[in-house]
Amino acid sequence: MDITLLYFEDCPNWKLADERLTAIAAERYDIRLIRHLVETPAEAERVGFLGSPSIQVGGVDLFAWPGAVVGLSCRRYLTPDGYEGAPTLDQLRTVLADA
């Protein structure tokens, strides 16, 4: 399974998501992590970038919510401990099990 981590350089949250996805990829032989730097609003629109970091499988954002806006912004995720810059390992494992 190819997992694409979309990010833009000015948002530090993507590094936390990268660490967590790298840990999961080390647990599962079937995962290939692809990092995609989004640099322009036009590219954000083309790839459906809902903020940094975004995590997609097959072009589908695994944490999309109704009314989400495409653009170059930092993104926050609701976790059991409040909002963080990336989903927790458990949240990632859950959505990837269903992907």
Tokens 């694409």 belong to which residue?
4
pLDDT digits (tens, 9 = 90+) for 28-84: 999 999 999 999 999 999 999 999 999 999 999 999 988 889 999 999 999 999 999
Asked whether the predicted pLDDT for residue 89 surpasses 90, the reply is yes
Both tokens assigned to 21: 């996805």
DSSP letter, residue 91:
H
pLDDT for position 66: 87
pLDDT for position 65: 86
pLDDT for position 86: 96
pLDDT digits (tens, 9 = 90+) for 7-24: 999 999 999 999 999 999
Q: Does domain 2-98 have CATH number 2.40.50.100?
A: no
pLDDT for position 34: 97
Spatial separation of the C-alpha atoms in residues 69 and 64, rounded to whole Å? 10
